[in-house]
Each structure stands twice: as structure tokens, then as C-alpha cells.
């Protein structure tokens, strides 16, 4: 999710001090995560979704590859016995990958050069600078499932790298979400195409910080693709929810 400036302190303000947002997030997550369940938080940042999953009684495996952000995540959740925190990225295969850091706005640090290229010509992204680069380790969803078990829910928010994360999943999971932006709608289409290769899914959508599903009845991949294509650029971002059909 994109915000304009302020570093880790701003992220903490945005993600932990808005009570109404927290309540909306918990209500939505409660639709997917049972008490005693397991959630994967891929791209945890400072861990607001991890916090929500923990409040709902789940165990959480949270990945955040930025070392400075990971330290904040560990300070917040490191003592919780139901939280496993990993300073890693996720992708199509185990490896090392270059990560481009936006030190003023670390919530949009990314391993995707394509996102950075798209941002250069997007009006709402002007002024964003990726000013440092590091190498980070990569794991896969398949590896996480093998090590920690089958999750009840997987949240993926990795700034344009979502399709590559799903490329590292070879068996269908019951429920997951992935972020998209209106400057990279093709990422959402690629994610849905990948899910169609491994299972029969239906979809729903939450825009921005609404944390509310837009559809009472879940829709097809074709419907969701058309809906995303029709969004104005000002919609900026959202989360697509995918549910495995029986």
C-alpha cells in the first residue's frame, strides 16, 4: 500500500494508530481466519496484518525482507509465541534477489524494477525515490507450507512481485489475498492466471484502506479482471481475495 513519505515512524502511525481502520481490518480478516488457525503474512512490513491475525487467535508466519523494518516487526511481535518472523522475501524459487529500498517510504520498497518503472510516469507516485539497494534471501510458498503447514489464509503484499510469489505455489490453498495497484493492473491479471493453473477460484475485492468486500457474491476471474480494468487510476490500490471453489 502506497503512502507519500515519512519512513518507519510514519508507517507505525498509519498502521497502528487508526482505531477505526484496525476494527475494519479485524472484521474482514475474521471472515477468513479461524481462532487457532494459521496465516501467512507475505510482505508483513511493520506487522499490522500480523497483529490482526494474532488478535483473532491465529498463529502467523510473517515475512519481511527489509532489515530495518524487520527490526521494528521483531520489536512488536517477536515475543509472541504464535508468531514466526522471517527476514526473507518470497518468490518463484529459493535464491537471492535485489531489493530496491525507498528509505523515506519503506512501505513501497520492492524487488520489482517494473513497479519502479511504472511509478516514474504515474502522477500520484511522483517524488518517490528508491535510493538504496540490498540483496535479500528468497523462499517460496511451497517451502513455507512444507515447513509450517497448510495455512487457512495467505496475505500477499509485495509491491508488484505478487505474481512471482504465486509462481512459488504449486498446490491450491483455500483462501488468499494479493495486492494490486492501478499502475500495474497486469500484475493482478497474472496472479489470477496463475491461480487458475492450480485450482478453481472465485474472487472478491477490497479497495484502498476500506477493508470491506465489494461483492456479496464472489465473482469469476473474468469478472474481476474487467472490474480492475475499469477502475480509475485514482483508485490507486486494493486487495483481491481468492477463494478455492469446492
Assess whether pLDDT exceeds 70 at residue 3: no
Residue 14's pLDDT band (cuts 50, 70, 90): confident
Task: Report helix, strand or coil for 188.
Answer: helix
Provide the pLDDT for residue 92.
98
What average pLDDT does the structure give for the chain? 95
Q: Place domain 7-244 in its CATH homologous superfamily.
A: Vaccinia Virus protein VP39 (3.40.50.150)
Through-space distance between the first and last CA atoms of the chain, rounded to whole angstroms: 31
Q: Tell which wins on pLDDT, 3 or 110.
A: 110
> Quick one: what percent of the chain has pLDDT higher than 90?
92
Cβ distance 130 to 116 under 8 Å?
yes
Cβ distance 166 to 144 under 8 Å?
no
- Residue ranges covered by each domain of the chain: 7-244
In sequence order, what are the residues at sequence separation of 6 or more whose Cβ sits closer than 8 angstroms to the Cβ of residue 7? Answer: 103, 104, 105, 106
Mean pLDDT on 131-148: 98
Assess whether pLDDT exceeds 70 at residue 5: no
Mean pLDDT on 37-56: 98
Residue 7's pLDDT band (cuts 50, 70, 90): confident
Dump the DSSP string for 67-126: HHHHHHHHHHHTT-TTEEEE--EE-SSSEEEEEEE-SSSGGG-BS-HHHHHHHHT-GGGT
Assess whether pLDDT exceeds 90 at residue 49: yes
Q: Is the pTM of this model over 0.85?
A: yes
Residue 1's pLDDT band (cuts 50, 70, 90): very low
Mean pLDDT on 161-181: 98
Assess whether pLDDT exceeds 80 at residue 55: yes
Mean pLDDT on 179-200: 98
Provide the pLDDT for residue 12.
80
Mean pLDDT on 194-210: 97
**Rounded CA gap, 242 and 25, in Å?**
17
In sequence order, what are the residues at sequence separation of 6 or more whose Cβ sits closer than 8 angstroms to the Cβ of residue 83? Answer: 50, 54, 59, 60, 62, 77
Task: Report helix, strand or coil for 60.
Answer: strand
The CA R_g of the chain, rounded to the nearest whole Å, is 17
Cell triple for 54: 494474532
The strand pair at 59-63 and 89-90 is best described as unpaired
Provide the pLDDT for residue 246.
84
Mean pLDDT on 126-141: 97
- Report the candidate in 8, 77, 72 with the shortest Cα–Cα distance to residue 61: 77
Residue 6's pLDDT band (cuts 50, 70, 90): low
**Rounded CA gap, 185 and 246, in Å?**
28
Instruction: Tell me how far CA of residue 70 lies from CA of 51, 189, 203, in angstroms.
Output: 14, 30, 31
Amino acid at each position: 500500500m502506497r503512502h507519500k513519505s515519512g519512513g518507519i515512524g510514519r508507517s507505525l502511525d498509519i498502521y497502528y494508530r487508526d482505531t477505526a481502520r484496525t476494527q475494519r481490518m479485524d472484521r474482514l480478516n475474521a471472515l477468513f481466519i479461524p481462532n487457532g488457525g494459521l496465516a501467512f503474512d507475505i510482505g508483513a512490513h511493520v506487522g499490522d496484518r500480523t497483529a490482526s491475525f494474532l488478535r483473532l487467535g491465529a498463529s502467523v508466519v510473517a515475512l519481511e525482507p527489509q532489515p530495518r523494518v524487520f527490526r521494528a516487526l521483531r520489536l512488536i511481535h517477536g515475543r509472541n509465541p504464535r508468531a514466526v518472523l522471517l527476514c526473507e522475501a518470497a518468490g518463484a524459487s529459493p535464491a537471492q534477489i535485489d531489493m530496491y529500498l525507498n528509505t523515506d517510504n519503506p512501505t513501497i520498497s520492492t524487488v520489482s524494477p517494473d513497479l519502479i518503472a511504472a511509478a516514474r510516469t504515474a502522477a500520484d507516485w511522483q517524488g518517490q525515490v528508491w535510493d538504496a539497494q540490498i540483496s535479500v534471501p528468497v523462499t517460496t510458498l511451497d517451502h513455507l507450507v512444507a515447513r509450517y503447514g497448510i495455512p487457512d489464509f495467505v496475505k500477499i503484499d509485495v509491491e508488484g512481485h505478487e505474481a512471482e510469489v504465486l509462481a512459488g505455489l504449486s498446490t491450491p490453498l483455500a483462501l488468499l489475498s494479493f495486492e494490486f495497484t492501478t499502475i500495474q493492473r497486469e500484475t493482478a491479471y497474472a496472479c489470477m492466471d496463475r491461480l487458475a493453473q492450480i485450482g478453481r477460484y472465485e474472487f472478491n475485492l477490497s479497495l484502498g484502506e476500506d477493508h470491506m468486500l465489494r461483492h456479496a457474491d464472489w465473482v469469476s476471474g473474468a469478472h474481476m479482471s474487467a472490474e480492475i480494468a475499469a477502475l480509475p487510476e485514482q483508485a490507486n490500490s486494493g486487495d483481491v481475495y481468492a477463494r478455492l471453489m469446492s
